Structure formats: structure tokens, C-alpha cells
Amino acid sequence: MSAKCLDKQGRWRNKTVAFRVSPEEDELLETAVRLSGLTKQDYIIRRLQEKEVVVTGNPRVYKALKNELTKVLNELKRLKKGDNVPEDLLEVIRLITITMDGMKEE
């Protein structure tokens, strides 16, 4: 059994929340979490509370950015001239841009 721990406000987190997503939604969520440098739980809670997700540059975030940019580059190379860029790829590019812009402000 895992150890009980309090959140930053001294509250017990003893409720479980689960939901289903499509593979595409899962990949987008995983990408956003990696780029944020937060845990999935912290990321989802902040987004639900409409709090700003502040990204602090650290080796984990830089590695996630590098890996995501590599995936984007490979996907863009795969596209042929005149092909439309898939919406999910545009969303990943938008997340990378937001992350990079936030890191510039540090």
C-alpha cells in the first residue's frame, strides 16, 4: 500500500479520478505533460483549475523538447508538398512554441 501524503495545502488526496481517451488524445496529453516538466497528476489538476502551467527549464524539459522537435521534424519530412499538416501535429507545434516562449521569460 502506498504511503499517504498531503498536498501543498495540507489536504489528503484520497479520491481517484479516471477517464478514457483516444490514442490521439493520449499522445497529445503525454506530450503536454512531458513539455511541462510536471507530473501528469499536477498538470491535469492545474489545467482543471484553469491555473497557468509554468514551465521551469531543467534537463527533463530540455530532453522532452528535443525529442518532440525530432518527432515533429520527422513528421514534416514525411509530408509531401501540398499535403495539409495534420491538426494534432499543429497542436504539438503550438505546445512546443508556448513552452519555448515561457522559458525565454525566465
State the Cα–Cα distance between residues 25 and 15, nearest whole angstrom: 23
CA distances from 54 to 7, 15, 20, 38 (A): 18, 25, 26, 9
pLDDT at position 60, please?
83
Q: Which three cell numbers stand for residue 5?
A: 501524503
pLDDT at position 44, please?
92
What pairs with residue 58 in β-bridges? none
Q: What is the mean pLDDT of each successive set of 10 residues along the chain, which is 106 residues long? A: 69 85 93 90 88 76 86 87 84 85 68
Q: If DSSP codes are grouped into helix, strand and coil, which group holds residue 101?
A: helix
pLDDT at position 57, please?
77
Report pTM: 0.56
